[in-house]
Amino acid sequence: MNNPPWPKGKKLVHLDLKGAPPRVGYLHKLIELFSQLGADGLLVEYEDMFPYEGDLKLLQATQHPAYSREEVLSMQEFAQSKGLEVIPLVQTFGHMEFVLKHGSLSSLRETASCIGTLTPHREEGLQLLMEMMKQVVELHPGVKTLHIGADEVYLLGEGEESKLWLSSPERTVEQLFLSHVTKVAGAVKAKWPNISIIMWDDMMREMSPETLKASGLVGRVQPMLWDYSPNLDVEKTVSLLEKYCSAGLSDVWAASSFKGSTCVHTCVPSTQRHLENHERWLQVAASVSAAVHLQGIALTGWQRYDHLSVLCELMPAALPSLAACLQTLILGQFSADAQRHVTERLGIPSVEVEDIGRTSADDSLFPGRRLAELTVELNALLNSDDIRFFDNNMYVRGWFSPFHRQRKMVTSLITRQIHSQASTYLATIQEKVEALKEEMVRLYPDSTAEEWIEEHVSPVVAPLQRIMEDFSACVTETQP
C-alpha cells in the first residue's frame, strides 16, 4: 500500500541504555549513522548509566561504569553537531526497578514484591523523582523536551496506602494514576516552564475523555502512543489518538519499534516484522484528523524488556532494520528505491541481517557490521537441530542414554563416535564465541559480552559438555 511519507514532526531513534551500553566511540559512530539515515533526534533512556551524584550515586550501574558527565555532554554535543535533538527519558512511576531494587529505597515501592512501581503516596517519592530529573536536566543544557515514562505501572492500587486511598467513595485506580502523573508534570512545569513533557499513553487507553479532561494533564503533557506489533490495529489506534485530542491532548506522539519487541530473548531481528509495524503507523498518520497534531514518532530499540530481564538484540544486528524503517517513514513505503538506498548506504545485499553474509568492506559503512555477522553465524549454529537436539539424536538416545551412563553400560565404538562429534561441535562453537567476544568488547563493556554468552551460548553447550564428562567417566571405569 502506498502511504504519504511521515508528516511533519521528529523521527527519534530510541537509545535504551539499561543493557549493552555502547562504548562512547561506538556511540558516536551510531549517532552519525542515525543522522545520515534521516533521524531528527534521540530519545535517550539512561537508567543506571546516568552519572547520578550525591545520594543518588547508588543508582549507577555496578557491573560496568556509568557514563561520565563529560561523556554525556560529549554525546549531546556530537548529536547536536549532526542536527539531532536529544530528549532524555526518566521513569517516574512504572519501570522503576533500577531505583527501587535498592534496599534503602524499598519503602517507596507500591508493594514489597513489585520493585518496578513507585508508591504515589509518599512525598519523599516525589522528592526523589525531582532530584533525578534535576540532575538529568542540568546535564542536558538547553533541553527542550523531557520524557517522564509512566508506562506499565503494575500492581497500582495493591499497596496498603493505595487501598486506604481507594476506600473513599468514587475514587478509582485511574484517578490514582492521574493524580501522581499530574503531580509530577506540575512539579516539572513549575521548575522548568519551557520544557515540554512526553509520557507513555498505555495507562490512559481505557480512560474516558471526561476523566482525562478533569485530570489536570491538559496543557502539561503530550501522550506517546506505543504499539510495536506488525498487526497494529489502525482503526483502533486512530480512535485512541482522536480520543486524546477530544480530551484536549491534541499534541501527541507515536512510538514504533525497530528492535527489542519480538521476544524477550531475541538476538537477531526480523526487518520485515518491523517494516510492517511502520507501514501500519503510516496508515495511522494518514487517517487521523487535522486536529490531531502528531509531534513525531520514536523508533524504539529496547535493549531489555525491563531492568531485570535478559538482553534483546544488540544494535549492530538491528541497523538494517532501523535503516529500512526510517526509509519507509521518509518515503511512505518500503519501495525498491528505499531498499536500494539502505543496501547501498550500509553496503549489504539485503535488509534482513541474516542475509548480509561476510565481507571485507569498510566497517564505516555499517558500524558494528563484523559483530552483526558473527552474531548471525553463531545464532544459526546454536539453533541448528544437530546441536540443539544433540542429546536427543538416535545414537545418544540409543547407546548413551542416562540409563547407560548411570550404569556405565556403554558401547565403545558408538560412544567414541558420539564423543568425537560432540567435541567437534564444542570446538566450532568455542571458535566462533571467541571471535564474537573479541569483537563485542570493542563496542560494549566486557560485562555485556559475558552476559550475552551466558544467555545464548551456555544453555546450548551444557548438554554437550555433560556428554563429554559422562564419556570420560564411563571410559575411566571401563578401562581394563
What amino acid is encoded at 10 in this protein?
K
Run of H or E including 176: helix 173-191
- For residues 440 and 314, what is the distance between their CA atoms, to the nearest angstrom? 10
- Name the residue ranges covered by the structural domains of the chain: 10-359, 384-477
Residue 397 is predicted with a pLDDT of 66
Q: Are 151 and 89 in contact (CB under 8 A)?
A: no
Which residue has 513533557 as its cell numbers? 197
Residue 416 has pLDDT above 80, yes or no: no
Q: Find the DSSP H helices in 192-314.
A: 209-213, 234-246, 271-287
Task: Give me the residues paired with residue 197 across strands.
Answer: 146
CB atoms within 10 A of CB 211: 15
pLDDT tens digits for 280-313? Answer: 999 999 999 999 999 999 999 999 999 999 999 9
What amino acid is encoded at 8 in this protein?
K
pLDDT tens digits for 156-201? Answer: 999 999 999 999 998 999 999 999 999 999 999 999 999 999 999 9
Residue 393 is predicted with a pLDDT of 76
Reported as a pLDDT band with limits 50, 70 and 90, residue 398 is low
Residue 466 is predicted with a pLDDT of 81
Residue 423 is predicted with a pLDDT of 85
pLDDT tens digits for 191-209? Answer: 999 999 999 999 999 999 9
Residue 406 is predicted with a pLDDT of 72
Q: Sign (positive/negative) of CA torsion 360, 365, 368, 371? A: negative
* 152 in active site: yes
CA distances from 50 to 133, 301, 306, 311, 444 (A): 11, 18, 16, 19, 16
- For residues 349 and 357, what is the distance between their CA atoms, to the nearest angstrom? 8
Three-state SS for 33? helix
Look at strands 251-259 and 293-301 and give their pairing: parallel
Comparing CA positions, the residue from 10, 21, 148, 133 lying closest to residue 89 is 148
pLDDT tens digits for 78-116? Answer: 999 999 999 999 999 999 999 999 999 999 999 999 999
pLDDT tens digits for 336-347? Answer: 989 999 999 999
Residue 476 has pLDDT above 70, yes or no: no
Q: Which of 32, 71, 152, 451 is catalytic?
A: 152
CB atoms within 10 A of CB 385: 9
Average model confidence (pLDDT) across the chain? 93
Mean pLDDT of 119-144: 97
pLDDT tens digits for 198-252? Answer: 999 999 999 999 999 999 999 999 999 999 999 999 999 999 999 999 999 999 9
pLDDT tens digits for 62-85? Answer: 999 999 999 999 999 999 999 999
Residue 298 is predicted with a pLDDT of 98
Mean pLDDT of 46-73: 97
Comparing CA positions, the residue from 170, 154, 53, 140 lying closest to residue 97 is 154
Q: Which fold has domain 10-359?
A: TIM Barrel (3.20.20)
Comparing CA positions, the residue from 351, 349, 347, 350 lying closest to residue 325 is 351
Q: Are 28 and 36 in contact (CB under 8 A)?
A: no
pLDDT tens digits for 443-459? Answer: 999 999 999 999 999 99
Reported as a pLDDT band with limits 50, 70 and 90, residue 3 is confident
The proportion of the chain whose per-residue pLDDT surpasses 70, expressed as a percent, equals 95
Residue 431 is predicted with a pLDDT of 96
Residue 2 is predicted with a pLDDT of 75
- For residues 127 and 135, what is the distance between their CA atoms, to the nearest angstrom? 12
Q: Are 29 and 367 in contact (CB under 8 A)?
A: yes
215 grid coordinates? 485530570
Q: Are 14 and 299 in contact (CB under 8 A)?
A: yes
Provide the 8-state DSSP code for 457: T
- For residues 199 and 145, what is the distance between their CA atoms, to the nearest angstrom? 11
Which DSSP string do the residues of 335-392 spell out, in sequence order?
-HHHHHHHHHHHT-S-SSGGG-----S-GGGSTTHHHHHHHHHHHHHHTSHHHHTGGG
